[in-house]
Amino acid sequence: MLQSFRPFAIATLLSISGLLTTTACKQEPPEPKQPDSGGSNGQSGYVIGKITDPQGNTLSRATVYIDNTVLKGRGAEANSSADGNYKIQLVKGLGQWIAKGYVLKQYNNRVYKIQLEPENPDSFSEEENPVRNFQWKLTGHIPDLSLNLYYGGYVELYRDLNADGLYDTENVELTFKPVGTLIDGSTGKTLKLKGGEKSLDSDFIMDIPIGRYTISAIYKPTGQALRVRNALANDDSYNYANSVTVDFSGTEVPTRANSMAIGITNR
């Protein structure tokens, strides 16, 4: 009985072995190994990144450019695509680079140039496969050696030379009431800000979201309502009123871009 079973068992084992061999031959070849990009979503020889607006949506047609930290010269630049992405090729062997960005926005028949906030402001070289993302911010401090640069606009206060006092502009409170949407299309808030806000100089108010505002003022120690005017208006009338509606200057006034000048008086 055992002798008759042994040939059958051997034949069965040989059949199973052949089946396994055939199956192994039919396996799919392994996927080819993808080349290593050298960094998290980085690309060899390029700086890449994404640009978003204040709400976190992708921002197209923004500009990113690179500066060399040794040669101190502006390098190549690129505009973001419809999906907010950009890519700039880096020159090998030139050391460290810094990426910077800005966006040009048309608003109320003016054009504004607004710096972009870098997610990572550190310098980089082409070996690092750098990724540098940016965001457009309405307000906030610009990461720079200066302590007085902001993404928002600024207001300079001009005291009427014939006014009685008002030398202490830190006690002058301006109310900014938005007229329409802000430059990014969002709804603004009414702001009450005094001279010296985010500034070492009480004649300045810094970091206001760019928009069109109706502005009024009071002298805080007494509560007296002041009269105001647009000090950059192209006229010599010096007419003061209880309030004035003003836009920030745009690129049409390069030396005063993203600024307002408000005259104040108690006469």
Q: What is the CATH number of the domain that holds 55?
A: 2.60.40.10
Look up the pTM and report it.
Answer: 0.80
Confirm whether 26 is domain-assigned: no
8 A C-beta contact, residue 228 and residue 263: yes
Q: Which residues pair with residue 52 across a beta bridge? A: 58, 135
In this structure, the answer to whether residues 166 and 88 fall within a common structural domain is no
Q: Helix H segments across 86-204?
A: none
In this structure, the answer to whether residues 93 and 131 fall within a common structural domain is yes
In this structure, the answer to whether residues 81 and 181 fall within a common structural domain is no
Mean pLDDT of 62-81: 89
In this structure, the answer to whether residues 246 and 164 fall within a common structural domain is yes
Range of the domain at 240: 153-265
Residue closest to 183 by CA, chosen among 80, 53, 89: 53
Residue 33 pLDDT level (bands cut at 50, 70, 90): very low
* 9 pLDDT above the threshold of 90: no
Residue 91 pLDDT level (bands cut at 50, 70, 90): confident
Residue 14 three-state SS: helix
In this structure, the answer to whether residues 128 and 161 fall within a common structural domain is no
In this structure, the answer to whether residues 193 and 96 fall within a common structural domain is no
Confirm whether 41 is domain-assigned: no
In this structure, the answer to whether residues 162 and 259 fall within a common structural domain is yes
Confirm whether 19 is domain-assigned: no
Confirm whether 36 is domain-assigned: no
Q: Which residues pair with residue 81 across a beta bridge? A: none
* 140 pLDDT above the threshold of 70: yes
Confirm whether 27 is domain-assigned: no
Confirm whether 247 is domain-assigned: yes
Q: What is the CATH number of the domain that holds 238?
A: 2.60.40
Please tell me the total count of domains within the chain: 2
In this structure, the answer to whether residues 159 and 121 fall within a common structural domain is no
What's the CA gap between 203 and 220, in Å, rounded?
A: 15
* 11 pLDDT above the threshold of 90: no
